[in-house]
Amino acid sequence: MNQFTTTTTNSIEGWDIKEYLQPVSSNVVVGANIFSDFAASITDFFGGRSDGYERRLNEIYDQALKALINKARSIGANAIVGVKIDFGEVSGKGNQMFMVSVVGTPVKAVKRGDKAGGGESSSYEVYDGELVERKVRAKNIIERFDSDKPAISKIPENTVNFIVESRLPELCNLVMGLLSVWSMEPASSSKQLALPKYFDNLDTDSAINGLYSYLEKHDIDSDALRRFLKIASDNNLIDYEKLKPLLYNNHLNGRKFALELLRRGKASYSAKEIELLRKYSDDLVGLFQPLGTTDQVKGMFSSTAKEVWVCVCGTKNNQSVKYCGNCYKDNYGFYEAEVKPETVANLIRKRLDVISTL
């Protein structure tokens, strides 16, 4: 299989499929008038057939198939099985468009009996030159811009667009760093608004690994927390196993991130996830301890001291006051609008009760 193979069947004769990857698709949309132009020429028809019409259809199909192959190669596949082609018409607001859609399942396949079937490199493999160049460019971007506090203002817009559309997991750490210091940058720009779309194009496993790994290693601020929660929610990046190191570390906002995702439901729950939820529901409240201290303060006209709680920001607050008068957080580091551990623990228990009845 020196050339990239595509087939409408679910197998490739003489080859063993070692791994099925996420399905890919491509669409080519063109104006319907290109075909009416052919029909207008009577000399183009022979026996009821239009050579020009068929030639144009083949060109569009080849274009869609080439885009499909490029997508598959970019994720490490060397073949596509189960290819399906669909022709259709898209219309609206007085316009008519013609669309060719191609979909298939990328696979990693090895020749039957090949000793390299375990995944090692062998002579049959063909490496996608376009992917190589994209990865080389990514390495150059990382070497130039990646740091503890990268500045998006220093990155050209065309470079940001490349990062967003790259589908390369190695750029995830840089993207997370840029999103973390967003609030320190000048007023919002098109580059800042585009960055979260990087996760729309990244495969789910890579997005989860990159997002959770960064949060495990970095103590982020509240602005970055909200940004990452939106990314996780919009892209359904909820992994209960990956939440474990975030819940049991010393970064408050990392624990808040885990807490917020535990509040959200999932499409399905495995037996392993149910066990994790039981553990989390038991541990959640104890994981969040008071951050401040207590002190004795004497009144201006009284010799009697009264007890106050001292917020981590240094402000002394009456015991009857739940939220600090300076930073507006409680003694556990939560704003009033933020979800609390007790609330999430109770919600998890209710979910587990329902699951136990199914």
Q: How far is CA 92 from the centre of its chain?
A: 32
- Using a cut of 0.85, tell me whether the model's pTM lies above it: no
Task: Determine the pLDDT at residue 46.
Answer: 47
* Comparison of pLDDT for 27 and 93, the residue scoring more: 27
Two structure tokens written together for 156: 């050209």
Q: What is the pLDDT of residues 147-197, one digit of tens each?
A: 777 888 888 989 999 999 998 999 999 999 999 887 655 555 788 888 999
Q: What is the mean pLDDT of residues 272-294?
A: 93
Percent of the chain predicted with pLDDT > 90: 47
Q: d(Cα 86, Cα 81) in Å, to the nearest integer? A: 16
User: In the chain, which ranges are E strands?
Assistant: 5-6, 15-20, 24-31, 45-46, 49-50, 79-92, 95-111, 293-298, 305-310, 316-318
* Comparison of pLDDT for 51 and 304, the residue scoring more: 304
Task: Determine the pLDDT at residue 130.
Answer: 80
Q: What is the pLDDT of residues 63-83, one digit of tens each?
A: 888 888 888 887 888 899 999
Two structure tokens written together for 341: 């551990």
Range among 1-5, 30-34, 311-315 rated most confident: 311-315
Task: Determine the pLDDT at residue 95.
Answer: 63
Residue among 285, 296, 295, 225 nearest 260 (CA) = 225
Cβ neighbours of residue 265 closer than 8 Å, sequence gap 6 or more: 351
Q: Is 330 helix (H, G, I), strand (E, B) or coil?
A: coil
Q: Is the pLDDT of residue 285 over 80?
A: yes
Q: Is 122 helix (H, G, I), strand (E, B) or coil?
A: coil
Q: What is the pLDDT of residues 40-59, one digit of tens each?
A: 444 444 445 555 566 667 77
Judge contact between 291 and 331, C-beta under 8 A.
yes
Task: Determine the pLDDT at residue 50.
Answer: 53
Secondary structure tally for the chain: helices H, strands E: 13, 10
Cβ neighbours of residue 177 closer than 8 Å, sequence gap 6 or more: 146, 147, 148, 149, 150, 214
Percent of the chain predicted with pLDDT > 70: 82
Q: d(Cα 202, Cα 218) in Å, to the nearest integer? A: 21
Q: What is the pLDDT of residues 16-27, one digit of tens each?
A: 898 898 899 988
Q: What is the pLDDT of residues 218-241, one digit of tens each?
A: 988 888 999 999 999 988 899 999
CATH 3.40.50.1470 for domain 5-113, yes or no, is no
To the nearest whole number, what is the mean pLDDT of the chain?
83
**Separation in Å, CA 27 to CA 30, 84, 93, 103, 273:** 10, 12, 21, 9, 37
Q: Is the pLDDT of residue 5 over 60?
A: yes
Residue-range domain boundaries for the chain: 5-113, 128-236
Confidence grade of residue 281 (pLDDT, cut at 50, 70, 90): very high
Cβ neighbours of residue 242 closer than 8 Å, sequence gap 6 or more: 208, 209, 212
Q: What is the pLDDT of residues 118-155, one digit of tens each?
A: 444 444 455 677 888 999 999 999 999 887 778 888 88
Q: Is 146 helix (H, G, I), strand (E, B) or coil?
A: coil
